[in-house]
Structure 1
């Protein structure tokens, strides 16, 4: 297990209340041994004007997952900030929910890199993202 913080799904979801996370309907559904999973609806909040999932909504799901995964690997007094996000969109999604699965590429002590794969309701990859974060707070060597 790579997580250093103990937190329940309920607590994790409560952290997003009143933020963009809750506004877009993002819900964390699983804290795995080495992965973090969340879902997001494809609806009027997350579609672009042409009726498909907005790339910015996919990027928000990816950044939410990667940032929270980074946070879960830190100690009390530390936090994470995103430094780079990229997203490659593979196929459109028009309805249902998408599911993001986040895994560490490099879970370092000062910087981290996360891969987030977003799947449509049929389990097809719709987006691949990579998020880099920097660890902030107390000395990371302590």
Structure 2
């Protein structure tokens, strides 16, 4: 049995819709998005295996000095790379991260950051994506890369 045999609850459908997941991709998320994506305020505007785009507010995702926390940038990058890999995997395979790295380029202090995720490799078992995060002025905040393995999706 696979997760694709599950019927989505109204709560899951509402969560996916609220965070910008296209309706045709809802079957890939039978359990919703998990707690971190909503908690970080991540909002998708585009999602495919080849490209994903999302925004995230700087506040409250800051470190004590009031700057966007580097870990928050990594969460945003890993989220997009994993979601895009999951779309490539479809309902039979799920993406699991095996490597993520990030270079922080400049601080973000207010407003929103935008992440653009682009596929480097979409293979049968491995996907690689690069993610560029920019501030509202279009300046680079973080450059990241993630490698995901695609493994069989099993029912919980």
Structure 1 gap segments, 5+ residues each = 1-6
User: Contact 2:119 / 2:129 at 8 angstroms: preserved in 1?
Assistant: yes
Give 3-state SS (helix, strand or coil) of 2:83's partner. helix
CA distance in 2, matches of 1:123, 1:32: 22
Superposition RMSD in Å: 2.2
Residue 9 of structure 1 pairs with residue 21 of structure 2: yes
TM-score for both structures, normalised by structure 1: 0.83
**What's 2:151 paired with?**
136
1:119 to 120, 134, 147: 134
**CA–CA distance in structure 2, aligned partners of residues 79 and 40 of structure 1:** 24
Instruction: Identify if the C-alpha distance between structure 1 residues 69 and 83 changes in structure 2 by more than 3 Å, giving closer, same or farther.
Output: same
Measure the CA separation in 2 of the matches of 1:119 and 1:70. Answer: 21
C-alpha contact (below 8 Å) 2:50/2:118 kept by paired residues: yes
Alignment of 1:17-28 (within 5 A): 19-28=35-44
Q: State the shift of 1:31 in Å.
A: 3.1
**Structure-1 separation of matches of 2:121 and 2:49:** 15
Across the two proteins, how many residue pairs are aligned to each other? 130
Structure 1 residue 55 corresponds to structure 2 residue 93 = no
Say if 2:121 and 2:127, in contact at 8 Å, map to a contact too.
yes
Question: What is aligned with 1:36?
Answer: 52
| Residue 104 of structure 2 is aligned to residue 89 of structure 1 | yes
Deviation, 1:9, is 2.8
Task: Name the structure where helix makes up a greater proportion of residues.
Answer: 2
Matched, 1:99 2:114: yes
